Amino acid sequence: MTDNQQQSTSNPATVTTPSEREVYIERVFEAPPEQVFAAFTDPELIPQWWGPRNTTTIVEEMDVRPGGAWRFIHGMDDGSETAFRGVYREITPPARLVQTFEWEGMPGHVCVETNDFEDLGDGRTKIASTTIFHTTEERDAMLESGMEGGMNKSFERLDELLGA
């Protein structure tokens, strides 16, 4: 994470690479698991937090069930667009969400993302996210794409939505 990204994020996620093909992320939210899980699975809520502030997110498709597809389009302030898509594999409210993830800027490079929502008590939830890539090169390319900074900016917006 660059110094600029660190300064703009009051509660940054912890990002590690525990294996050659894996990215592991942890972040605590000041909301119960049901509320955090809903923010990840409700198409009405996704545009309110997914992506940095200078973007708009359009939920083109979001069929939240095993085998259901999702696709989000990010509109940038310069008029350009990029999109992300995947397929839901496992949905266990409010504890687990497993899906594939593909940034259309790197087509054909599909990873599997597992999000575990842990109830910490006192109305707090820890998200532990593990993403498995096909190769180390794919993992490193995603990290170099600015994923960490964009994710932390999204999480700041999610904090606001959750009322933290």
Reading the chain (164 residues) residue by residue, the pLDDT tens digits are: 333 333 345 789 999 999 999 999 999 999 999 999 999 999 999 999 999 898 999 999 999 999 999 999 999 999 999 999 999 999 999 999 999 999 898 788 899 999 999 999 999 999 999 999 999 999 998 899 888 998 999 999 999 999 96
Contacts 24+ apart (CB under 8 A), 106-113: 106/138, 106/141, 106/142, 106/145, 109/133, 109/134, 109/138, 109/141, 109/142, 110/86, 110/134, 111/138, 111/139, 111/142, 113/86
Report the predicted TM-score, pTM, of the whole model to 2 decimal places: 0.90
**Residue 6 domain-assigned?**
no
What is the domain range of residue 63?
11-162
Centre a 10 Å sphere on the Cβ of residue 22 and count the other Cβ atoms it contains: 15
What CATH number did the domain enclosing 88 receive? Answer: 3.30.530.20
**At residue 130, what is the residue type?**
T
pLDDT at 164: 64
| Assigned token pair, 143 | 């990290």
> Cβ distance 39 to 50 under 8 Å?
no
CA 128 to chain centre: 11
**Residue 5 domain-assigned?**
no
**Residue 114 domain-assigned?**
yes
Query: What is the total count of domains within the chain?
Result: 1
**Residue 1 domain-assigned?**
no
